[in-house]
Amino acid sequence: MEEDEISYRTLRKIQQLEKNSPVLTKLKSDFYNDLSEYIENLKNRLGSETSSQKQMLLNDEIRNTKKIVTNIYEQREKKILLAVVSKARGGNPDLKNMIDWEKDLFDPVLNLMLNSRRRILEMETRENISEETKTVGSKEEKKIVEKQENSNPIVRITQDIPEFIGTDEKKYNLRKNDLISLPEDMSDMLLKRGVINKIK
């Protein structure tokens, strides 16, 4: 969602859109700059206001605006971190609505996670391990990976959900009473929205 001018009403709209979307919604590239100016303008109005009643109203607006802004950011922050996990595991998350300030979060966290995965999961095998042991190890690793891939929670859909692209890059069109196995990050997100029940 792109708005020409930030206001309390448009921020509420953005908050609701962000809440109802499994992926990042579209914002202006300078959204956070405009937001900073908007809050600064409210503070300036408060400083020059002589009416105690209007001062109280402006204080309430500033406080409520900051709460909404924090909620918008935290919703987007969570989606960005889920996208990092997806990308690190070989996925192709939808990043088209990520703005520059958010890329400053995404890129270093992704690099940190990739480096950590390489350090822990791709350790060089010592030379004195026989080829037979290597082969057995590979089979065991494959079993572990397969077990992890099949360990997604099974959930029941409690209401129709509009079609969306999941963090695993698959398209979902879920209807009430559907039983489906979903990646854990997606099932956690939908569980918090109250549209699924975990079966297993």
Q: Are residues 19 and 80 in the same domain?
A: yes
User: Residue 27: how many CB atoms within 10 A of its CB?
Assistant: 22
Question: Residue 179's CB: how many other CB atoms inside 10 A?
Answer: 10
Tell whether 148 is covered by a domain: yes
Domain membership of residue 159 (yes or no) is yes
Q: Which amino acid is at 12?
A: R
Predicted pLDDT of residue 151: 62
Full strand arrangement of the beta sheet holding 179-181: 179-181, 154-157, 196-198
DSSP annotation of 80: H
Q: For position 145, what pLDDT does the model report?
A: 43
Could you say which of 93, 114, 135 is where a domain stops?
114
Residue 160 sits in a domain whose CATH number is 3.40.5.50
Residue 170 lies in a domain: yes
Give 122 or 136, the one with higher predicted confidence. Answer: 122
Residues 128 and 108 both lie in one domain? no
Both 131 and 107 in one domain: the answer is: no
Is 99 in the same domain as 131?
A: no
**Pick from 114, 149, 170: which residue ends a domain?**
114
> pLDDT tens, 52-87?
898 999 999 999 999 999 999 999 999 999 999 999
Q: Give pLDDT tens digits for 2-49.
A: 445 889 999 999 999 999 999 999 999 889 889 999 999 999 999 998
For residues 24 and 98, membership in a common domain is answered with yes
In a domain, 119, yes or no: no
* Co-location of 130 and 174 in the same domain: yes
Do residues 95 and 172 both lie within one domain? no
* Same domain flag for 107 and 140: no
pTM over 0.85: no
pLDDT in tens, 149-197: 446 777 788 888 887 788 777 877 888 877 777 888 888 888 888 888 8
Q: How many domains does the chain have?
A: 2
What integer pLDDT is reported at residue 140 of this predicted model?
52
Q: Give the CATH number of the domain where residue 47 resides.
A: 1.20.58.1030
State which of 80, 114, 148 marks the end of a domain: 114
pLDDT of residue 180: 79
pLDDT per position as a tens digit, 84-98: 999 999 999 999 999
Residue 123's pLDDT is 66
Residue 93, token pair as written in the block: 């998350």
More confident residue, 107 or 183: 107
Question: Which domain range does residue 167 map to?
Answer: 124-198
15 shares its domain with 110 = yes
Q: Residues 133, 61: one domain?
A: no
